[in-house]
Amino acid sequence: MNRMDEAAKKLKIDWETYKTLRSPRTSLAVTFPIRMDNGSVEIFTGYRVLYNYVRGPSKGGVRYHPEVNLEEITALAAIMTLKCAVAEVPFGGAKGGVACDPSKMSINELERLTRRYTYMIMPLLGPDKDIPAPDVNTNQQTMAWMMDTYSMLAGYTVPGVVTGKPFQLGGSKGRGYATGRGVAFVTSEMLQRLNMPLKGATVAIQGFGNVGSNTARFLHQEGCKIVGVTDISGGLLNEGGLDIPALLKHVEDEKKISGFKDGEFITDYRRANERLLKSDVDILIPAALENQITEENALDVRAKVIVEGANGPITGTADKILSKKGTTVVPDIIANSGGVIVSYFEWVQDVQAYLWTEDQVNQRLKELITSAFTGVWDAAQEHKTDMRQAAYMEAVGKVVEVTRLRGIFP
């Protein structure tokens, strides 16, 4: 919220118009029972927050994690609002989640959880209202269950109610790689502006899930040297560069980086993350959870450029420390917007019942995210500020302008 407020002040936006952006429009908390495989009944709590939808249907992921709470979901929904605006995607922002530990649940328990959660938030959902997508610990299968549950209750198939679903159910080609591909596009654009060569640049990536692994895939293809990665099982470090194609195959088979024989492996993931965040590299890409770089470790960060693959990986205080150090930060609302951009493409294909080729999807992603990045870069130069504030200024300005045009009902 402080970053939004600062952006509004910098733009000299009228307070009466701006303050409508400071609170979520709709917040829903639900509790529901699920029968577990052993016959017991557990009670789960879920959330769905539609932060703002003046620019179009609200859009945002659903995460399953033990620490999910309303405050976190609200903050992430606000970020989604800004992300859609800065990327010129005609959506508002939303987020959802269930407090649970999916690693301790069977596939059948997860299906029952997903279907009941979908039913509980059903009044908010719809292809013209609110459109969920995958997030932390959710995937294509989760979206397939959500789409099917909504469709069964509606009485007909509604593929446009979610994005990030399997291609056979109306998903888009290229969607699974989209966020990582977008991070790679933005990284390339940033290095061009800084007159740093992409080929041979050293990269450390925190988190090797969908975003981190695909970012590694595409940056490696561009000639970058990936010298360190971490996930929940630990960390891999190799100053000579990791064999990324082989690592991707290992993770596909084993679902974790541990056991891969290349470089130094650190079994304690906390110590591995600590080592990785302090790596002397050209580019650091935090692609795990929020609040990973804080005032406690920001001074130890040695990377020249940080590209935020995750949402909110740098705290506000750490941001200021990094700015004073001269570290260039590409903020999440532009850096990882590839996912929501291709989700928009998926939604367009669903409502038109017309599928695009993967080349069309990738080319349009590159055009849209590069244009958005250029707009943020130009705003940073014009207002003599950093990329974070410039991105927030671009986003806040666009949402406030639409709010002004629509007016206040009644």
- List 10, 59, 83, 95, catalytic entry: 95
| Residue tagged 């003599």 (tokens) | 384
Enter the DSSP assignment of 136: T
364 close to 343: Cβ distance less than 8 angstroms: no
Contact (CB, 8 A) for 340 and 87: yes
Which one-letter DSSP state was computed for residue 69?
-
b/e per residue, 161-192, with b = 16+ CB within 10 A? Answer: bbbbbeeebbbbbbbbbbbbbbbbbbbbbbbe
Which of 122, 186, 127 is CA-nearest to residue 339?
Answer: 186
Q: Which two three-digit tokens encode residue 295? A: 């005032």
Please report, as a single letter, which amino acid is at residue 198: L
H or E element, residue 228: strand 225-231
Half-sphere exposure (Cβ direction) of 114: Cα atoms closer than 13 Å: 29
Alpha-carbon distance 375 to 394, whole Å?
8
Assign 49 to helix, strand or coil. strand
Q: Tokens standing for 69?
A: 């709470």
Separation of alpha carbons 6 and 21, rounded Å: 13
Rg (CA), the chain: 21
Is 199 labeled as catalytic in the residue annotation?
no
Distant-in-sequence, close-in-space partners of 59: CB < 8 Å, separation ≥ 6: 80, 84, 89, 91, 92, 93, 94, 130, 131, 133, 163, 340, 343, 344
Report strand pairing: 225-231 vs 202-206. parallel
Query: β-pairing, 92-99 with 41-52?
Result: antiparallel
Give the alpha-carbon dihedral of 249, 254, 259, 262, to 10 degrees: 10
Instruction: Please say whether the beta carbons of 305 and 205 come within 8 A.
Output: no
99 and 45 Cβ atoms separated by less than 8 Å: yes
Pairing of strands 305-307, 283-286: parallel
- Annotated active-site positions, please? 95
